[in-house]
Amino acid sequence: MPKILVIGASGQIGTELTIALRKRHGGDHVIAADVKSGHLQLNNNGPFIPLDVLDCETLQVQVRNHRIDTIYLLVAMLSANGEQHPQKAWQLNMQSLLNVLEVARVENIKQVFWPSSIAVFGPDAPKEHCPQNTELNPSTVYGISKLAGEQWCKYYHSRYDMDIRSLRYPGLISSKTLPGGGTTDYAISIFHSAAFGKPYTCFLGPDTKLPMMYMDDAVRATIELMDAPAKNITVRSSYNLAAMSFTPDELAGEIKEQVPEFEIIYSPDQRQAIADSWPDSIDDSCARQDWNWEAKFCMKGIVEEMLSSI
Q: How far is the CB of 185 from ligand SER (least distance, A)?
A: 6
Q: What are phi and psi of 71, to 5 degrees?
A: -125, 130
For residue 43, the SS3 value is helix
Query: 240 near 132, Cβ under 8 Å?
Result: yes
Query: In the complex, which residue's CB is closest to ligand SER?
Result: 182
Size, binding site for ligand SER by CB under 6 A:
11
142 flagged as catalytic: yes
Counting contacts by CB under 6 A, is residue 279 touching ligand SER?
A: no
* Contact residue for ligand SER among 6, 78, 213, 302 (CB under 6 A): 78
Binding mask 11-40 for ligand SER (x = CB under 6 A): ------------------------------
Residue 309, CA atoms < 13 Å, CB-side half-sphere: 15
Q: Which is nearer to ligand SER, 71 or 274 (CB)?
A: 274
Counting contacts by CB under 6 A, is residue 92 touching ligand SER?
A: no
> What is the full DSSP assignment across 80-118?
HHHHHSHHHHHHHHHHHHHHHHHHHHHTT-SEEEEEEEG
The Cα 65–Cα 67 span in angstroms is 6
Binding mask 129-168 for ligand SER (x = CB under 6 A): -------------x--------------------------
Of 72, 142, 156, 214, catalytic: 142
Amino acid found at 204: L
Q: Which is nearer to ligand SER, 6 or 78 (CB)?
A: 78
* Contact residue for ligand SER among 171, 211, 248, 279 (CB under 6 A): 171
Query: 13 near 117, Cβ under 8 Å?
Result: no
Q: How far is the CB of 71 from ligand SER (least distance, A)?
A: 20
* Contact residue for ligand SER among 183, 237, 238, 281 (CB under 6 A): 183
Q: Residue 282 gets which letter from DSSP?
A: B
Query: 19 near 72, Cβ under 8 Å?
Result: no
Four-CA torsion 29, 1, 104, 237, nearest 10 degrees: -110
Counting contacts by CB under 6 A, is residue 119 touching ligand SER?
A: yes
Q: How far is the CB of 65 from ligand SER (least distance, A)?
A: 32
Q: How far is the CB of 123 from ligand SER (least distance, A)?
A: 16
Beta strand residue intervals within the chain, DSSP E: 4-7, 30-34, 48-50, 70-73, 111-117, 163-169, 171-173, 200-202, 210-214, 239-240, 244-246, 264-266
Q: Which is nearer to ligand SER, 15 or 79 (CB)?
A: 79
Q: Which is nearer to ligand SER, 83 or 305 (CB)?
A: 83
> Segment near ligand SER (CB under 6 A), from 113-121, 231-239, 262-270, 279-287?
113-121
* Contact residue for ligand SER among 48, 114, 121, 169 (CB under 6 A): 169
Four-CA torsion 240, 244, 250, 254, nearest 10 degrees: -140
For residue 71, the SS3 value is strand
Q: Residue 132 gets which letter from DSSP?
A: S
Instruction: List residues binding ligand SER (CB under 6 A).
Output: 78-79, 117-119, 142, 169, 171, 182-184
Active site residues: 142
